[in-house]
Structures are given as C-alpha cells and as structure tokens.
Chains A and B, each alone.
Chain A
C-alpha cells in the first residue's frame, strides 16, 4: 500500500508554489529588518548588509518550506548573482555620478580655452594646454602603436602560425602587457636622456612611453579579430589565384576591420588616462606647448589633475574634478566612436 503512495509521490508533476509577488514581500520584510538595525544604532552599511542577509536567507528558506530544495537553491543562487551584479555596478554608477556632479560646475568655455600661464591667484586659468597635450601625446602613441601592433598581429596570425619566432613574440607581448606603467615612463625618460640629453621631458617622450603600453593591447585585439576570419575565406581567395599579401590586405583586413578599429580605439582610451608614465616622460608645464619634438615639457590632462589636486586649494580641487570630467568625456566619446565604427564596418548579412 505504501509502495503505491511512493510512486504517486514520484510521478507528481506539480508542487505547491509561493504566492505571486513573494519576492516583494520578502524584500519589504528585509528592508524593515535593515530599518530596525538602523534604529538599533548600526551604521547605514551594517543595516544594508543585515537587510541583504535577511533577504538572501529568508527567501530561499521560505521556498524550501513551501516548494522544494531545487527551487530554494535556485532562489539562493539568483539572489547571490544579483548581489554580485549590484556590488560590481554600484561603485561604477557612484563614480560616474561623483565625477559628473563635482566636475560639471567647473566645466566652462574659459576652463576649456585657457591655459595656466601666469596664473597665481584662484580665479583664472583652465586646462586648454593639458587637453592639447593629451591629444598630441596620445596621437603620437597611436601613430607609433597602431602600425606596429597591427603588423605584428598580421605576422603572428598569417605568417608565424606557431613557429619559434611567433611564440617568442607572443610571449614578449604578454610580458609587455604586464609592464607597470611607470616603468614604461622611466624607460622613455632614460631613452631620451641618452639620446637627447639629461632630464629631457617632452611630448614625444610621453608618446613613446604610452605606445609601450598600447602596442600589446593593439596586438592582442587585432590577433583575436584576425583569428575570427575563417580559413575558408583565405582558401577561397587563394583558389582565385590571389597572392597571399593581397589576400591579407584586400580580403582579411577588410573582413576584420570593424573589430580591429574597435580594439584600437579601446586601446587608445586605455592609455589616454595614464598618469605615471607622463609624469616622468612628458613632465609639467603650465603653458601651452604644441610642439612635441621641442625639448620642453608638455602638460597632459591626467598630470593636470594630479598637479591641481596637489595644490590643495579649494580651486585646485575644483579644477582637478573638472579635469577628471573632461578626461571621462574624452574616453566616453572614444568608446562611442568605437561602437559606431564597429557597426559601420561589420560584414553585412543582407537579411
């Protein structure tokens, strides 16, 4: 008799479920629990943690009592994943909010069009010189890194194919990825001290330092994109009597160009905010300097932020936030360009 009961139990396809909106009920209870903790004198962080724990324990427990074990596990893991998501995203939103709210007041036509030449008081000046410097230095880094990076990637994927030289290069590129940025700055500084003279700090030096950091990212991203071009297409081109170099320049690169451009732009936005190498290699300058090859320091936005912050006056801190916002907008614009370019060049399916 008990045997039939058991088989009935096993073949049952439905089970009791929590009422609709159960998560909101538990959520409200958890918020109440957090509020209670707050009233009892815990800090806001402690209260939030208590409330969160209440939800993460209470909701699966209720599910375990009413539904079954699998449903409880599901609810627990879903809760943990959402928590991890929030932990990752909240600082990001907070950061964006802080930079925008504190920098927006400083952003003005004057701030964007004046340099810090002869500024002694707290009233005038801006970051025009630093903005120009950043564009020039990053531009130099891009001009050096993009051809070297793309050609290295082409060698690795199209010609090297796992031979010893290619493996060595891949290893060196990996090592280069891990270079601390200040070491790149020191290298460029030492290089130009030897080549030009002691204590040389100028825009080109900053560009060289940044290119050391940029090349590995360009190589890596281009490599990944070239790998995505199917060998079928290369063979199709060879079978039409197309030489290898033309296959690469006229078929492989155009097919992968969307991804390559995206990777390049993202690598630019990675180095544009570098501070340490530019402190060392490019130096400080309150004046506008637009000639990167002249032996005089060139200001950049990250260094401007650093300098203004170390002034420690109220206006200096304001300028630092303004500079941060400008840098932030620059990176956002670059990312946006990367996305747009990526979509424009993506191979069309016509469906």
Chain B
C-alpha cells in the first residue's frame, strides 16, 4: 500500500499547523520523519489514519490517498481507515484492565468479534512472535499487561497493532520513552516488519532515522508561530550524505534545531 500525499495542510481551528505537504511513501518500506519539536511531524503522521480528528476543531485540506483511495473522501469511514492503518504511540499504553493475552486481542475483543479459541491463540502467538515478545511472556499471558517493563509494554503495543493485520503501521516516536536495549529491540523489529508492512516512523533521533529508514522526510518551521512544512523528502542515504537543501544539512549536522 503506497501512500500519496498532495498539497496537504492541517489546521487546529484557525491555526494552521502544517502547510502544503506533498510526498509519496513507498509500500513495504520504512519512511522516517525528522525535524525540530513542534514542526508538525506528529500531527502529519496522525492525519495518515485520521487520528488527528480526535482533537476538536482539527481538519485537513488537500488529498491523502492510500492505495489510490482518498481517505478523506465523503463516504470514507475513519474507523475503516484505522483498521488498515495501525498506530503505535510515543508512550506505551496497554489497556490496564486487560491481561497480556487480551491486550494483543484488543482489536478483536473491543469490536466484539467472535473468534475460536484456537484461532485466538494462534493470532496471539504470531503477533507476539512478530513483536519479539513471545519468549519473554509466553508463560504469563494471563498476567496484566501493565506489569511488563516499559520496553516490553511498547512491544506489546506493537503486537496489539499488528494483531488486527493492518497494512500500514504508523509509529510516533516509539522509542523515546525506552532505554537503549529496548530501543535496539524495537529497531530490529522494525527491520523485520518492513517485509510485511509499510512503516512510517517519527523520530527525534537522527541516528535512528539513518539506521531504520529507507526514505526520510525533514520537516521544519520557517519561523516561530509559522506553520511547519516539508523541507526535503529523499532516500535516507542521500539525505544523510548529500542533502538537496542546506537547511537539512544544517539540521542533520547538528548546527541548529
């Protein structure tokens, strides 16, 4: 599933947060968004599965299409979009009332989908294996998800997201609350998931963007109070060796931002 974004601006009420983004995200690849805080990269990420609509007054102008379908079309159900485009958040957020097993099946359970026990078991096992968590939790699946460590909780959230079999996985700074070992585990996981999913990741860590991504988008603000915009979108290798835009080079080499 490729994602095409054309002339998209994002608003919170009167405030224009992001301006005129155009990009094309390749299927089954990892795309990273980098940029200084407040430049709208998380906001932009959330428009890719219509999650920004949760905030009252937020709306989008422009066209975002996934697999050729405009996700902001008049007859499009945001719930259907989110079933195809999963999301992992900055802070791990397993459901506190549910066990590890139920957390992985949350997408099915909350939608009251009836599935056979054997089928449920196989979904849980494959999702947890997919998230590299199976070996650590297989003996305590009925324990609460909140009892895991931060890194394990984040991998549980990834397992939960892939258990509903989305085609795109959005990750909003998934490692910012984690230690280097858990971060490495998740980066390895992103490499593995790439063969099945289109992954879009927001990160503050440029080394991480360089390590995991195939393409990178650099967002920036023209000035304080101005909307954020996409400065450059290129293959990661080119971005980190000979970027087109001098601002990108300045940001990557740490001279500002």
Contacts and interface: CB of A to CB of B under 8 A. Distances in A.
Interface of A: 161-162, 230-243, 246-247, 250-251, 254-255, 347-351
B93 A240 contact: no
A255 B93 contact: no
B191 interface: no
Contact of A237 (B80, B83, B86, B110): B110
Given A236-B157, A242-B79, A255 B95 contact: yes
B31 interface: no
A82 to B, nearest CB: 38
B80 A241 contact: yes
Contacts of B109: 250
Contact of B93 (A236, A242, A243, A247): A236
Interface string B68-94: 000000000001101110110101010
Contacts of B144: 347-350
B51 interface: yes
B253 interface: no
Given A235-B51, A250-B110, 5 more contacts: A235-B93, A236-B106, A239-B86, A239-B89, A350-B146
Nearest to B140: A350
A240 B110 contact: yes
B107 interface: yes
Interface of A is mostly: helix
Nearest to A244: B79
Interface string B96-116: 110000000011011110000
A235 B89 contact: yes
A255 B94 CA distance: 12
A316 to B, nearest CB: 52
B146 A250 contact: no
19 contacts: A232-B91, A234-B54, A235-B51, A235-B54, A236-B89, A236-B95, A236-B157, A239-B82, A239-B86, A239-B87, A240-B86, A240-B107, A240-B160, A240-B161, A242-B111, A347-B146, A349-B96, A350-B144, A351-B146
A256 to B, nearest CB: 10
A118 to B, nearest CB: 55
Contacts of A236: 89, 93, 95, 106, 157, 160
Contacts of B87: 235, 239
Interface string B50-71: 0100101000000000000000
Nearest to B90: A232
A246 B147 contact: no
A347 B96 contact: yes
